[in-house]
Structure formats: C-alpha cells, structure tokens
Amino acid sequence: MTGLVSIPSRAGFLAARNSGIKAVAAGFVLQATPTGRDDWRLGLTASKKTGNAVRRNRARRRLRALARSELATRARAGTDYVIIARHNTAERPWQDLVSEFHKALGHLHRVIDKQGGQR
C-alpha cells in the first residue's frame, strides 16, 4: 500500500473501540480491529485532554509520521488501526514513540492471531 487510508466515519472509530484490541503506551493508545477488507485503514485522534489546538495538531502530525514510517511496513490487510494521542505525545522523544509503537503493534498482532485461531 502506498499511502495512508483513513477510516472515513465515526462508526469505524467506535468499532475499533468497542470490539477491538487495545495496547496502551506512554505516548499513545493503539487500537486494532479485524475488518475483513482488502486493505488496512488508519484513524488518528487527539482529544481536548491532549491540550490546546496547537498541541493536538502537533500530536496528530507526529502520530501520522509514526504511522507512515512504522505502521505502513507492518500493517496487516483487513485491519483498522486507531491511534489515540495522550497528554505527552507532542513532547515525547521520537525514539521512545517508535519503540513503544513496535511493542504495542506486536502485542496487538499476537492477540489478533490468538483470537483468529480460537474461532
């Protein structure tokens, strides 16, 4: 896949929250839910708890860059990913975000594989 495909509706975000798997890291929360689609999609969000508009936008930009550099190579087709910014996402060191992302994504993929084997 060449570019990031966004989850177009609130329903996609809610499905990831309600039926998905969650991994919490210091810099973000990563959620994933299998969809059965041919591609993977990404949702980014930063609530007002993250800070003012400048901090929220910076946090979203950093998460988008993280998704382009790390998720794009490891994402699985048929999965929706939602990354939620936390209060320190905008200031967290980049290498910490990357290492947390690899750990969280590995956890999510293991849980999805385990659930897939039980069905």
Confidence of residue 115 (pLDDT cuts 50, 70, 90): confident
Tell me, what's the pLDDT at 117? 52
Enumerate residues 6+ apart whose C-beta is below 8 A from 115: 21
Whether 92 is in a domain gets the answer yes
Report the domain count for the chain: 1
Whether 61 is in a domain gets the answer yes
Output the CA–CA distances (angstroms, integers) from residue 12 to 24, 69, 97, in the order listed.
19, 23, 24
Whether 55 is in a domain gets the answer yes
pTM for this model (two decimals): 0.90
Q: Give the CATH number, domain containing residue 88.
A: 3.30.230.10
Whether 5 is in a domain gets the answer no
Q: What is the DSSP letter of 1?
A: -
pLDDT at residue 46 above 90? Answer: yes
pLDDT at residue 43 above 90? Answer: yes
Confidence of residue 119 (pLDDT cuts 50, 70, 90): very low
- pLDDT of 66-108, one tens digit each? 999 999 899 999 899 999 999 999 999 999 999 999 999 999 9
Q: Say how far apart CA 106 and CA 81 lie, in whole Å.
A: 13
Q: Residue 67: name the closest of 38, 30, 37 by CA.
A: 30
Strand partners, 24: 29
Whether 34 is in a domain gets the answer yes
Mean pLDDT of 50-73: 94
Structural domain that includes position 70:
10-118
